[in-house]
Amino acid sequence: MQSAALLRMLCGRTGSKPTGNLSLWSKAPRGINRDARAQNAVQLVAAVRLLSTSTSSEPALHRSYLYVPSSSDRMLEKSLSLGTPPDVFIYDLEDSVPPSPFDKNTARQRLGHFLSRTPEEKLPPAERVAVRLNDINTPFFENDMAEILKYPSVGTLVLPKIHSVRDLHYVSRVIRKSNTAHSSLRIVASIESARSVFGLGEIASWKSEFGVQHGGRLAALLFAAEDYCADTSVVRTTSRQELLFVRSQIVIAAKAFGLEAIDMVCVNYKDPEYLREECEDGRRLGFTGKQAIHPTQVDTVNSTFVPTSKEILRAAKILHQMNAAHSSQKGAFGLEMEGGGKEMIDAPMLKQAENTIRLARTAGLEIPLVE
């Protein structure tokens, strides 16, 4: 990335006027005149200065997806006053509600009442409100859709048991027929079966035949590990080794088509250390966020699915030193490693560093000054 583009990325706006000590470049590289040296120095200092993180141009973080059972008035109300709120609330009409028609209908009515009676200023923004519906093969799906699509406060539909693109096409047609007032519904496809994994590429590449405005937009793939294990006879262990392949496949498919990848629930909600281990494992695999089943899990998920301070510092050093390398007409440089030695840094690692700084900035984390 050229210095000016890097500056725009980190500052979050054009026209910012950086300041700093130009003595960082007291000696110009060969072939660089004094004016170019000064310009590079100004941009360099700007690129690694402590950044403001409040610009609206950054995308929202979707690290934690917390399920809130719609079977309980108390839990619905409690979701509005959590100490650490999730990035996305999933108000659930599926697994957390007993399967009887009476319970399903009551939960749907309860959620509708909650969404319609809660003052707008108390509800989270629509982009942070999701509803998990009953799957399309149940007798409850049509009524779920008819009820939930009444409310502009719902920005995301979580669709369980998506086995193929045919399921997504069906949901999209229901959205189209509803004449909903939503400008663009986000759709999260839950991957729960061998069939869905077999067709991941087609599912991830799906687009509504009616366009985003009228048929919804696929925004994420979500891994439902317990359902997947039930379908495939995979035996779950605490090592997660038996799920490495499928989790990696979901991440790859999601990244190939610009989607979020949401990792499985940690069912052991009483063990915070295991939760953190599972979160770190998911982030290493490339997942962008994780489902949560208890409010106490949210803080760990949120704090894990962002770069560490060590990763941010390394990224800032790479941006700083690559700028100098480019000014010296070099495409790579050696970065000093902890414990000795040097790591060769070139274009792919620069891209990784840019991604790290971008995510840190979106999360409101401190970007250190590198000199």
Kindly state the average pLDDT of the residues 240-266: 98
> Is 367 contained in some domain?
no
Kindly state the average pLDDT of the residues 139-152: 96
Beta strands in the chain (DSSP E): 64-69, 88-92, 129-132, 156-159, 186-191, 217-223, 260-263, 289-292, 333-336, 342-345
Question: What percent of the chain clears pLDDT 90, i.e. is strictly above it?
Answer: 76
> Is 163 contained in some domain?
yes
Residue 181: per-residue pLDDT: 59
pLDDT in tens, 321-350: 988 899 888 899 899 888 889 999 999 999
Residue 5 Ramachandran class (φ > 0 left, ψ -120 to 50 alpha, else beta): alpha
Same domain, 171 and 231: yes
Same domain, 316 and 289: no
pLDDT in tens, 84-137: 999 999 999 999 999 999 999 999 999 999 999 999 999 999 999 999 999 999
Q: How do strand 260-263 and strand 289-292 relate by DSSP bridges?
A: parallel
For residues 122 and 110, what is the distance between their CA atoms, to the nearest angstrom?
A: 17
> Is 314 contained in some domain?
yes
Known binding residues are: 132, 192, 227
Known binding residues for substrate are: 132, 192
pLDDT in tens, 181-223: 567 899 999 999 999 999 999 999 999 999 999 999 999 999 9
The range of the structural domain enclosing residue 40 comes to 3-55+307-362
pLDDT in tens, 223-234: 999 999 999 999
Tell me the CATH number at 137. Answer: 3.20.20.60
Last residue of a domain, one of 289, 304, 319: 304
> Is 369 contained in some domain?
no
Q: What is the pTM of this model?
A: 0.83
Same domain, 148 and 160: yes
Same domain, 214 and 334: no
For residues 292 and 66, what is the distance between their CA atoms, to the nearest angstrom?
A: 5
Same domain, 234 and 357: no
For residues 79 and 349, what is the distance between their CA atoms, to the nearest angstrom?
A: 40
User: How many Cα atoms within 13 Å fall on the side-chain side of residue 291?
Assistant: 26
Contact of 345 with 321, CB cutoff 8 Å: yes
Question: What domain count does the chain have?
Answer: 2
Mean pLDDT of the chain: 87
Q: Which of 69-73, 133-137, 287-291, 341-345 has the lowest mean pLDDT?
A: 341-345
Q: Which of 60, 91, 97, 87 is nearest to 78 (CA)?
A: 91
For residues 58 and 357, what is the distance between their CA atoms, to the nearest angstrom?
A: 12
pLDDT in tens, 32-64: 444 544 444 444 444 444 343 333 344 689 999
> Is 248 contained in some domain?
yes
For residues 233 and 243, what is the distance between their CA atoms, to the nearest angstrom?
A: 12
For residues 362 and 320, what is the distance between their CA atoms, to the nearest angstrom?
A: 20
Same domain, 204 and 147: yes
What DSSP element (H or E) covers 121?
Answer: none
Residue 340: per-residue pLDDT: 87
Same domain, 217 and 197: yes
Residue 36: per-residue pLDDT: 46
Known binding residues for Mg(2+) are: 192, 227
